[in-house]
Amino acid sequence: MGLIVSLFLGFVPMFLFAVFVYWLDRYEKEPKLLLGAAFFWGVIIAGGGAFIINTVLGIGVYVVTSSDAVTNFATASIIAPIVEETLKGLAVAVVFFMFRKEFDSVLDGIIYGSMVGLGFSAIENTLYIYRDGYSAGGWGGLLALAFIRVILVGWMHAFFTAFTGIGFAIARLNKNIIIKIFAPIVGIGIAISAHAFHNTFGSVVGSGGLDSLGLTILADMLGYSVMIGIIVWVLVHERNVVKRQLAEEVASGLISQAQYQKAQSPITLTTAGLSGRATSQFYLLLGELAHKKRATTETW
């Protein structure tokens, strides 16, 4: 029963977080199948691969140093950030190279990076909640670990890998060859650095107990604030893309002024489905049209 509950608490909240991320994509929805594939890449490829590689490299460090402290530090602060962000970043790279037409805004990079991160969190949370929670402390331990992993640091991996997505998106949207080459490298570098900082900060500035957890969460909140600011800025930018690019359709009479205004409204895009699938699809297609036109006439 403990394993079943751990699976539930590990996966269901991350599915709900993924639904929220999907909702954020207001003006040009990404394919659900591709988003689902990114999520389960995080679960299977990134999660499973990281467990194996982290374990093997951790054993290697211990064989060389014979020190638990050095092994724990090296695994948490160096090995895990590099291995995990690389494996998660590979999913973003696959979308970037194989589905380029679906990868045409900074928000798309954030969305795909977040989906992979949430999938990774789902399997990692399940492991921690069961192994370090239920197995070590019974139901009380399970609930405590679930609270920490889901409520306090539930967005952690999505936050890290979103930077990798931003790097690939900037490369996609720029014509400068230097930016195209280095933007993804900078993006994954920030992801690895943020991950390493998270894993190291609490143990360095605190005693390793609740104060360390509190300080780490405070630092995480500051990081999340930066990402929220980026998302808000990107959404405003995408709304302006719709406004600019659909003005021609209004002038030609293809769409009405009322439809033009609704196409720019996040409220309309949230509630359009209440008026039927055709209405919802109509406004999604307008967003798609605006972004495809932008891709041929503008750079980011």
Q: pLDDT of the chain along its 300 residues, tens only?
A: 889 999 999 999 999 999 999 988 877 788 899 999 999 999 999 999 999 999 999 999 999 999 999 999 999 999 999 999 999 999 999 999 999 888 878 999 999 999 999 999 999 999 999 999 999 989 999 999 999 899 988 999 999 999 999 999 999 888 889 999 999 999 999 999 999 998 888 666 655 566 666 777 788 888 889 999 999 998 888 888 888 888 888 888 788 888 778 777 777 766 666 666 777 778 777 777 777 777 666 555
Radius of gyration of the chain (CA): 21
Q: How many CB atoms lie within 10 A of CB 119?
A: 31
Three-state DSSP class for residue 230: helix
Give me the residue spans of the domains in the chain: 2-238, 246-297
pLDDT of residue 203: 67
pLDDT of residue 81: 97
pLDDT of residue 299: 57
pLDDT of residue 272: 62
pLDDT of residue 262: 78
pLDDT of residue 276: 67
Q: What is the pTM of this model?
A: 0.89
pLDDT of residue 43: 97
